[in-house]
Amino acid sequence: MNLREKIINEFGGLSPELQRAAEFSLQNASQLVVLSMRAFAAEAGVKPATLLRLAQRLG
């Protein structure tokens, strides 16, 4: 299962903050690999810790 599929499968069970981060990640996947976590979080409008929680949740 790729990252996109994991996000889609888990989306309904995520908190609104994690959903925002997940949706932004899906829409901006190319930026996910080039920006720092802090920069990506700022672009997504979430805290860096939210991205960490999302990554932990998705495995």
**Residue 45 DSSP SS3:** coil
> Which tokens hold the place of 18?
């994690």
* Tens digits of residue pLDDT in 4-43: 999 999 999 999 999 999 999 999 999 988 999 999 999 9
Whether residue 1 has pLDDT greater than 90: no
pTM attached to this predicted model? 0.88
Query: 17: domain range?
Result: 3-58
Cα 44 to Cα 22: distance, rounded to the nearest angstrom: 9
Q: Domain total for the chain? A: 1
Length of the chain, please?
59
